[in-house]
Amino acid sequence: MEEPRIGVYVCWCGTNISKMVDVEAVTNEVKALPNVTIAKNYKYMCSDPGQDLIIKDIKLHNLNRVVVAACSPRIHELTFRTACEKAGINPYLFEMANVREQDSWVHTDRTEATNKAIDLVVAAIRRVRYHEPLQKRFVNVNPATLIIGGGISGLTAALEIANAGKQVYLVEKSDQLGGQVKKFDLTFPHLSSAQQMIRPIVQRVDNHPNISVFLETEIREVTGYIGNFKTAISVNGGDPVELEFGNIIAAVGLKPFNPEVISEYNYKEFPDVITSFEFEEKLLAGRILTVYGKEPRNVAIIHCVGSRNKKYHEYCSRVCCMAALKYVHQVRAALPSANIFEIYADMRAYGKGHEEFYALTTHRQIMFLMYDQQKKLPVINQADRSDNCNMIIEMDELLSGQSIEVPVDMVILMVNMEAQENVKQVVRAIGVSLCGNQFFIEKHPKLDPVATTTGGVYIIGTCQGPKDIPDSVAQARAAAARILGAIAQGSVPIEVTTASVNELLCCGCQTCIGVCPYKAISYDENNKVSIVNEILCKGCGTCGSACPAGAIISKHFTDLQILSEIEGVMSMS
Amino acid sequence: MDFRPKIVAFLCNWCAYTGADLAGTSRIHYAPNIRIIRIMCSGRIEPTFILKAFQQGADGVLVCGCHPGDCHYQEGNYKCLRRFKLLQKFTRQMGIEKDRLRLEWISASEGKQFAELVNDMTKTLLSMGPSKVKSSLEVEHLNV
Amino acid sequence: MSVRVHPELRNQLMQFGIGDWNACYHCGTCTAMCPLSEEGFLFPRKKIRLMQMGLKNEIESSVEPWLCYYCGDCTSTCPRDANPGELMMSLRRYLTSIYDWTGLSKKFYTSEVWEIGSILLIAVLVVIAFLIGLPAMGYSFTTELTSQGGVKINSFAPIHIIEAFDWAMAIVVGGLLISNILRMYYKIIWKHGHTKVTFWVHVREFWRLVFNFSVQPKFGKCDDKRYWFSHWFLMSGYTIMFIVVVVFLPWFQTEKILPPWHLQRALGYYATFGLLFGLLVAITGRMRRKDVKFYFSHVSDWLFLVMLTLTVITGILIHIFRIYGMPYATYIFYIIHMAVLVPMILIEVPFSKWSHLAYRPFAVYFQHLKTHAVPRKTKINSIN
């Protein structure tokens, strides 16, 4: 290894750092440390002049390592790595010390903060000495795409990709395309027909030359990695068909919550207590009738059934409030003299045109009644003969503070949007994680909502979380754009900071194979050693810490690097 | 001189380290005794790292990962937990008190919880006094 | 104890006024803005809620609508244009119809045909009484003038007949009003809750009734004091006029022309001026529609203003024509005056807008009775 020549740069960040950390003292403290060629401080290291300072020094002083003490590496690591690259040194020969988010901003004693900054910078200097250059790598992308789920999201993504001239394999578990939208009558807030929306899309998918649809088919196992996946599917129990594709979109959708578990609502007990999905069937059939074949005179719509309640699901399903208001319009149109009760916990009208839709609905002779989800749910009871109605809802009305009785003949339960059941198989096959509510986890909740931590695997629609049609479609098109981008490039960059096996040390115990969540390690029977597929590896390092022989190297997080860092933070005390 | 405990903390990149950054952006003040080392996943933490920190004179070691089920790498935090339980048995036999070594889950949104955790651990260590690991190692070294 | 909601009641309430109360989403801005809303008697939001839910008994036992003097701040600050001010006005109309046991009030408020028809019918009866009734009873008027040159008005309108009629009318109207106030008392104090009000409290708080009737201090709490002043001016003029006409008619309706500073004329002028001033403010206000309180005008609002104005103007004309010795003009306007005044008193006072002169001060009285109510000792309560 060539002798490290380290340049250390301490950032003031205006007064953000310099107010609490004596940057001059830090610079002086580290100046004389071994391997430190030059140490400087500057007002804003991330600015163009700041970066130029590094670039010039690298060239002038022939530096081969750089340490910047500034903000969190989550913010500017890439900035400085790029600067190093510009100056001609490998970007991984750089290390950052976080002296803002984890020092100057959280402490109040200037001496203590300065000492801490020194510790952190020393640690970074010790660590960077053992950094090794890493090379960017790419894999080719198969232009075909596998889409799992034939609902509105899957169909939209399929058309988007197929229209760009690329092959799509669309796999659907049920016997028809269209998903939940096909079960709906109207959509909110424009009250336009769901059928007129979904049918042409299904037709276009069915007839598209670039889309192969596989109905009643499930994905059991997927092998390969980004750009080069493989699966075998069997259609109608026939011989398995082998498919190859470069990207995967999971659009497995949702499942309506089963309200039987909520004893207050007596669902199944009373035949005229129905879920919103069952009510859609009535609407599609064209008549709103009770089980007695009569038009209901009193219709109640109960919101948040299974939602926003720690006993069932804590999260909000997002679409039920507006769907409930949609029912108001539909019931009002069908039964002009009926009494309609909206029994809600909070009215959530966050979307485009939703608040207006809500305002419009308030003028349609509806009685809005509010209940407290946390205190007491409304209770549906059988009515007496003298009540002149089918059922009675007893509830504590929040806005009036009154305990009231509501006469009803039909109750619509706005059921929660649950994650699909039985997705474990798909989850394992494509390598995505589930959150506590069993929804698929995206790569970044804000900045990368359709990708996952597995390269080449995207999640769209309600399997990622409850959402309405426009949001599902937007995600579908977003994922399609990402995939088309990768296909257009022809190849995609893959993780650099992966694990690798030092075959001389490996004893072939295969401990690492068991701990790898990405099936990235395999056993080489011939040489009796483990081998890391660096395309599948995400660089978590779990195998490295599990290896009893110390044969696995976690690139950029090697034992030596981390141990030096530990020595560094402790060296000044 | 006052006893100023030193805590070496290993924080996973995706949850705990981000949570610590959030404490910063939210300007939540906490005790300056902690030195944070970033790793990609709590599953990467080797017993060696923790023992090394104690050997170097750390009065406490803190390991933070994602909450169960939230691991960026699916289940690295579970592996960390299993390993941690074993290690804790071992460190206690070595004479390192239980409270000097902690494993906590901190999510990316739990800046406040992180600050409280650091304060809490600092307080505990202050009441416990300095760790004897380093000095005992030095004594043995002299005897040899 | 749970109460049944009545969706149909909302539709009934809609007939009593203008405004879309369903638009309310209960932010409570109106209650926060209201200078009259107070602990234990919060409005308008709570009342809007009762109305939206159709809680009949709760609405009928409410005293709050009468505690609102309609400054309009709630309506102008409402983010949903739900018009809480007009709701309170509508609730007052509704409550008036509920207190009234004859059912006529509801008819008058909800049907213009009924209200205007009844007014016209009574007016025609008054005209007939003068043109046919009095001559038939053997009364004949004279066009001769007094020694002072004034009209001999008592020959046309025999003082004891008119006085007897006035008393009769006052007794009928008063009887109706008192029976309605008793119903109001029953609904607000007697019927509801597990509380009772001791006799001593009734006596001790009685001064509030008198005080609120004569001064309207609550109205004065509204931010715009001008309306309190004009209202008080109008009200005092009306009261004076009512008392002198009903109780002191022989002293008031004289053929002798007294000097202008005489108490009879001075009181008359004050009352006339007070009425005119108050009416001018109200009529111009309702025509300009600048202030929220005058923005929405129900038929009953206009009818009342027009009739009172006509009564005052014809009264002034009678006075002028009598003094200047113009018998025919005097007599004709006397008939018109009575043809407007009698239906106004008979319809407006017990059944319509004018009843607020009794309900408002009584409401304040009842409010204080409620404040001092003590738990009723019943078996149910002791278990609880």
User: Å from C5 to nearest chain A CA?
Assistant: 6
Do C21 and C64 touch, CB atoms closer than 8 A? no
C116 contacts: CB under 8 Å, gap ≥ 6: C303
The alpha carbon of residue B143 is apart from the nearest alpha carbon of chain A, in Å, by 23
Give the model's pLDDT for residue C349: 86
Contact C255, C152 (CB under 8 A): yes
Q: Which of B8, B111, B13 is nearest to B65 (CA)?
A: B13
Report CB contact under 8 Å: A394, C22. Answer: no
Residue spans of alpha helices (H) in A439-549: 469-489, 511-515, 542-546
Query: Could you tell me which residues come within 8 angstroms of residue C235 by beta carbon, excluding any fewer than 6 positions away?
Result: C216, C274, C278, C357
Taking one residue from A and the other from C, the number of pairs with CB-CB distance under 8 angstroms is 59
Instruction: With beta carbons under 8 A apart, name residues in chain A contacting B77.
Output: none
pLDDT attached to residue C293? 80
> C219 and C304: one domain?
yes
Place of tokens 């009739």: C307
Residues C155 and C252 in one domain: yes
Residue type, C98: I
* pLDDT tens profile A200-220: 999 999 999 999 999 999 898
DSSP state of A97: E
Task: Give the mean model confidence (pLDDT) for residues A407-415.
Answer: 97
The confidence score (pLDDT) of residue B144 equals 47
Residue C96 phi/psi, 5-degree rounding, is: -55, -40
C264 CB burial (10 A radius; 0-12, 13-18, 19+): middle
Distances (CA, A) of C276 to B5, C233, C279, C286, C351: 88, 9, 5, 15, 24
* DSSP code of residue A4: P
Q: Are A105 and B27 in contact (CB under 8 A)?
A: yes
Residue C290: predicted pLDDT? 82
pLDDT averaged over chain A?
93
Residue type, A546: A
Residue A140: Cβ within 10 Å count: 12
CATH assignment of A145-253+420-492, given 3.40.50.720, 3.40.50.300, 3.50.50.60, 3.40.640.10?
3.50.50.60
Kindly give the parts of chain B with pLDDT less than 50.
144
Last residue of a domain, one of C80, C99, C118: C99
Question: For chain A, what are the domain ranges?
Answer: 6-134, 145-253+420-492, 257-416, 499-555
Give chain C's domain count.
2
Answer for the pair A306, A415: CB distance below 8 angstroms, yes or no: yes
Domain boundaries, chain B: 7-141
Q: What is the pTM of this model?
A: 0.76
- Are C136 and C276 in a shared domain? yes
B-chain residues within 8 Å CB-CB of A74? 13, 17-18, 21
Averaged pLDDT, A305-312: 94
Residue B76: how many CB atoms within 10 A of its CB? 28
Contact list in B for residue A569 (CB cut-off 8 A) is: 8, 35, 37
Is A404's CB within 8 Å of C55's CB? yes
Helix C84-99 crosses helix C7-14 at what angle (to 10 degrees)?
100
Decide if A55 contacts A83 (C-beta within 8 A): yes
Least confident window among A101-110, A216-225, A378-387, B36-45? A216-225
Residue A106 per-residue DSSP state: T
In this structure, is residue C2 part of a structural domain?
Answer: no
Place of tokens 């109001």: C184
Q: Which residues share a beta bridge with A64? A: none
* CATH class for the domain made up of A499-555: alpha beta
The answer to whether domain A6-134 and domain A145-253+420-492 are alike in fold is no
CATH code 3.40.50 for A6-134: yes
Across the interface, of B17, B35, B39, the residue whose CB is closest to A541 is B39
Residue A401 region, left (φ>0) first, then alpha (ψ -120 to 50), else beta? left
pLDDT at C378: 55
In degrees and rounded to multiples of 5, residue A418 shows phi and psi of: -95, 160
Which among C174, C212, C219, C239 is positioned nearest to C362, based on CA atoms?
A: C212
Give the residue carrying structure tokens 């340490």.
Answer: A67
**SS3 (DSSP) at A401:** coil
Looking at C83, C99, C115, the residue that finishes a domain is: C99
Contacts of B144 (CB under 8 A, 6+ apart): none
User: Min CA distance, C57 vs chain A (Å)?
Assistant: 12
Distances (CA, A) of C12 to A289, A469, A559, C9: 28, 40, 81, 5
Question: CB of A384 within 8 Å of any CB in chain C?
Answer: no
The per-residue pLDDT for B16 is 94
ipTM comes to 0.95
Cβ A304 vs Cβ A370: under 8 Å: no
Listing DSSP states for B28-44 in one string gives ----TTEEEEEES-GGG
Residue C159: the pLDDT is 87
Positions of chain C with pLDDT under 50: 380-384
Co-location of C35 and C127 in the same domain = no
Q: Range of C79's domain?
A: 9-99
Given a contact cutoff of 8 angstroms between Cβ atoms, the answer to whether C47 and C64 are in contact is yes
* CB-nearest partner of A367 from C53, C58, C80: C53
Burial status of residue C231 (CB atoms within 10 A of its CB: 0-12, 13-18, 19 or more): middle
Backbone angles phi, psi at B63, to 5 degrees: -120, 125
Q: How far apart are CA C259 and CA C244, in angstroms?
A: 18
pLDDT for A201 = 97
Beta bridge partners of A456: none
- Contact map slice: A 47-106 vs C, CB within 8 A: none
Same domain, C21 and C109: no
Topology classification of domain A257-416: FAD/NAD(P)-binding domain (3.50.50)
Check whether domain B7-141 has CATH 3.40.50, yes or no: yes
Are residues C304 and C353 in contact, defined by beta-carbon separation less than 8 angstroms? yes
What is the band of A573 on the pLDDT scale with cuts at 50, 70, 90? low
Specify the pLDDT at position C18. 64
Task: Output the domain CATH number for residue C37.
Answer: 1.10.1060.10
Domain shared by C217 and C317, yes or no: yes
pLDDT at residue A313, rounded to an integer = 94
Q: Is residue B58 within 8 angstroms of chain A, CB to CB?
A: yes
Phi, psi of A88 (to 5 degrees): 95, 10
Question: Residue C156's pLDDT is what?
Answer: 87
Q: With an 8 Å Cβ cutoff, are B29 and A107 in contact?
A: yes
B141 touches chain A (CB under 8 A): no
CB B12 within 8 A of CB A513: no
Is residue C270 domain-shared with residue C337, that is, in the same domain? yes
CA distance C44 to chain A (A): 12
Q: Among A24, A50, A19, A59, which residue's Cα sits nearest to residue A39? A: A24
pLDDT, tens digit (0-9, with 9 covering 90-100), for A419-461: 988 888 888 888 787 877 889 988 888 888 999 878 899 999 9
Instruction: Assess whether C149 and C295 both reside in one domain.
Output: yes
**CA dist., res. C189 & res. C3, Å (int):** 19
- Tell which of A400, A403, A405, A409 to mutate to test the C interface (max C CBs under 10 Å): A400
Domain stop point among C53, C69, C99:
C99
Spatial distance between the Cα atoms of C13 and C15, rounded to a whole number of angstroms: 5
Q: Is residue C108 part of a domain?
A: yes
